[in-house]
Amino acid sequence: MSKFFPSRSRRCKGLLGARRVSLLAISLFLLLNIMFVATVEASNTTSNSTTTYQTNLNNPIAAKDLGGVIKTITTAFMSAIGAFAVAAIVYGGVIYISSAGNDENVKKAKSIVTYAVMGLGLALLAYVIVDFVIKTLLGGT
């Protein structure tokens, strides 16, 4: 190459490839989210002589009371926490397998897996407590 444009190392080329892949993934994600937006059913509007309009809008949250909303939010958080815990356990397993007998990496991997399992157990306990409080105070849903 010329003196103004030196060749790039393999690491830099790999990083640029990763950037391209992540940019493509983000673009596809945003494009699909824009394409499949929930439509408002404006065709169901009716007008009477006093120009009062009625429309039927879909409720995105199926819950009709406070307990149901709290339970929906708690369930969403539990899904995210479960996915994060599984990812942490897999990451700890990969570190453990690739440690090749290095005591420091083995200890690090074991602590990652231990804390991920403890966090998952704590999250399950929190879910049980929230469910119990909702059923006790709000009459259950």
Write out the residue range of the structural domain in which residue 117 sits.
62-137
Query: Is 76 among the domain residues?
Result: yes
Query: Is 53 among the domain residues?
Result: no
Q: What is the pTM of this model?
A: 0.52
pLDDT for 92: 93
Q: How many residues does the chain have?
A: 141
Query: Is 126 among the domain residues?
Result: yes
Which is it for the CA torsion 68, 71, 77, 80, positive or negative? negative
Query: Is 32 among the domain residues?
Result: no
Query: Is 116 among the domain residues?
Result: yes
Q: How many domains does the chain have?
A: 1
62-84 confidence digits (pLDDT tens): 777 777 888 888 888 888 998 99
Query: Is 11 among the domain residues?
Result: no
17-65 confidence digits (pLDDT tens): 777 888 888 888 777 776 666 665 655 555 555 566 677 777 777 777 7
**CA dist 95 to 99, 105, 114, 115, Å?**
6, 7, 13, 14
**CA dist 22 to 13, 17, 59, 79, 87, Å?**
14, 9, 33, 24, 19
